[in-house]
DNA sequence: CACAATAAGAAACGAAGCGTATCTAGGGAG
DNA sequence: CTCCCTAGATACGCTTCGTTTCTTATTGTG
């Protein structure tokens, strides 16, 4: 639109590119995102992008990084099941839109580019959930709903894994019915089993 | 190599194409599979393929269909944990090689092609695991290791989902250590929780 | 202040792969 | 024996990729 008066560089330019990439993601999704389109939207050109990132996956991961959601607060509904339902719903809402498609797309590329695999793993593992979960469990223990448990890291990741699965394979937004199933048939029993064992 | 003496048609031709596609999958993986390569390997040409399948994903799903693994036998090691470990290992072995990469690739396309999503879902849901699992659980109940449980369908799918997750995100073959973790930290507690509840 | 180093941006490239259209000729059905 | 379906060959236009080449704005160094 506005004439470009000056050349951007460094940080400023980089942010412009990442914003453009994010906008393209929202608008077209991962599969349809092209480097050319991002360059055009950012008002720059391909080489500028390729000088910074090795390919689409790296670019998208970087854009994603800048738009990371804030750390979730632990819901407090008064009972364990309610808290879990709320937490799962929160995760499901975040998996909506182009997120699942993007993750699936990046997963596909991860096989051909180990660095991408590494980045993706870090991104998905750093899921800021542990805090919320342990708060929920601590409160449940206080109320006497569940003996105190110390969750293995893997179990902390399960909610996100479960919902990602649903979101990617379901092809439709994760419904409340599905969320209830995940909580009642899987996660609550799992917690009870861990607490009892 | 050999001169083509006669034109193949119908079933014969179709099988030749699907075999070629499968071979390409094994050799190059999903992302690098091209219709041209499949046509060349099958000794035919692209239009012949496009007359039958709408695209790469459909072709690959069809090829996969023809090479479905046989129904797994329920391992019988004498105790529940051993059986589960064996079963998980079996699943992990099947997720090795190009299978995970293929699934990830098809997942990516599923978002743009609902029919593909549908086919993929059917393929993954029809997992021939329910039988083995309930046999294992029945035996565990006989031995008194676990009260009898009736697994919700979702819980039946969990082992495959867990391992697929590992295989896709791990970027490396699923190790025995990981399998033990999945069994000890997740699936056994889950079963106990279900049996107790 | 001048000038050298750096990096942005434009343009164009060859290589792939896509999916389609057009044509020919093989071989089964009647 | 003829007709018709369709296998198979070829080639097209298109898109995207990732790179190369070149010009020129900007920075910061002396």
Give me the CA A44–C1' D26 separation in Å, rounded.
16
Nearest CA in chain B to A122: B169
Six token digits for residue A135: 């708060």
* 8 Å CB contact between B149 and B133: no
Helix (H, G, I), strand (E, B) or coil at A145: coil
Sign of CA pseudo-dihedral B33, B37, B39, B43: negative
pLDDT tens-digit profile, chain A (197 residues): 444 557 888 899 999 999 999 999 999 999 999 999 999 999 999 999 999 999 999 999 999 999 988 888 899 999 999 999 999 999 999 999 899 999 999 999 999 999 999 999 999 887 778 889 999 999 999 999 999 999 999 999 999 999 999 999 988 899 999 999 999 999 999 999 999 87
pLDDT for the residue B5: 56
Maximum distance among all Cα pairs of chain B, rounded to whole angstroms = 67
- Whether residue B108 and residue A111 make contact (CB cut-off 8 A), yes or no, is no
Give me the CA A126–C1' D3 separation in Å, rounded.
68
Six token digits for residue A77: 């509904």
- Is it the case that residue B197 has pLDDT exceeding 80? no
Give me the CA B5–C1' C28 separation in Å, rounded.
16
pLDDT for the residue B126: 76
* 8 Å CB contact between B23 and B41: yes
Enumerate the residues of chain A whose CB falls inside 8 A of the CB of residue B121: 169-171
Alpha-carbon torsion angle B49, B54, B56, B61, nearest 10? -100
Encode burial over B17-42: b for 16+ CB neighbours within 10 A, e otherwise: bbbbbbebbeeebbbebebebbbebb
- Whether residue A194 and residue B191 make contact (CB cut-off 8 A), yes or no, is no
Q: What is the pLDDT of residues B70-102, one digit of tens each?
A: 888 899 999 999 999 999 999 999 999 899 999
pLDDT for the residue B4: 53
Alpha-carbon distance of B136 to B141, in angstroms, equals: 9
B159: distance to nearest CA of chain A, Å? Answer: 12
Long-range pairs of B147-153 with CB within 8 A, sequence gap ≥ 24: B147/B195, B147/B196, B148/B195, B149/B191, B149/B194, B149/B195, B151/B194, B152/A181, B152/A185
Alpha-carbon distance of A159 to A155, in angstroms, equals: 8
* Chain D nucleotides covered by protein, CB below 7 Å: 6-11, 15-21, 25-27
- Whether residue B169 and residue A107 make contact (CB cut-off 8 A), yes or no, is yes
Nearest CA in chain A to B194: A189
Residues in reach of strand C, judged by a CB distance below 7 angstroms, are A 4, 7-10, 13, 43-48, 51; B 5-7, 9, 32-36, 46-47, 50, 55-56
Alpha-carbon distance of A106 to A57, in angstroms, equals: 6
Six token digits for residue A68: 């990371």
Q: What is the pLDDT of residues A82-94, one digit of tens each?
A: 999 999 999 999 9
* 8 Å CB contact between B110 and A108: no
Distances in whole angstroms, Cα of residue A54 to Cα of each of A23, A51, A68 = 20, 8, 21
């Amino acid at each position: 639109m506005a004439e470009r008066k000056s050349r951007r560089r460094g940080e400023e330019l980089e942010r412009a590119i990442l914003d453009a990439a994010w906008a393209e993601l929202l608008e077209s999704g991962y599969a349809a995102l092209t480097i050319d389109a991002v360059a055009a939207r950012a008002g720059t050109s391909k080489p500028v992008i390729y000088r910074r990132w090795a390919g689409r996956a790296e670019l998208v991961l970087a854009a994603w990084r800048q738009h990371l959601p804030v750390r979730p607060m632990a819901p407090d509904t008064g009972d364990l099941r309610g808290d879990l339902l709320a937490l799962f719903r929160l995760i499901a809402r975040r998996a909506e839109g182009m997120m699942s498609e993007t993750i699936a797309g990046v997963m596909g590329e991860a096989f051909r580019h180990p660095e991408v695999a590494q980045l993706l793993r870090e991104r998905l593992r750093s899921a800021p959930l542990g805090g919320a979960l342990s708060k929920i469990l601590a409160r449940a223990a206080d109320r006497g709903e569940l003996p105190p448990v110390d969750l293995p890291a893997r179990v902390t990741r399960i909610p996100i894994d479960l919902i990602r699965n649903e979101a990617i394979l379901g092809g439709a937004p994760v419904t409340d019915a599905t969320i209830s199933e995940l909580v009642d048939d899987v996660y609550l029993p799992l917690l009870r089993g861990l607490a009892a064992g």
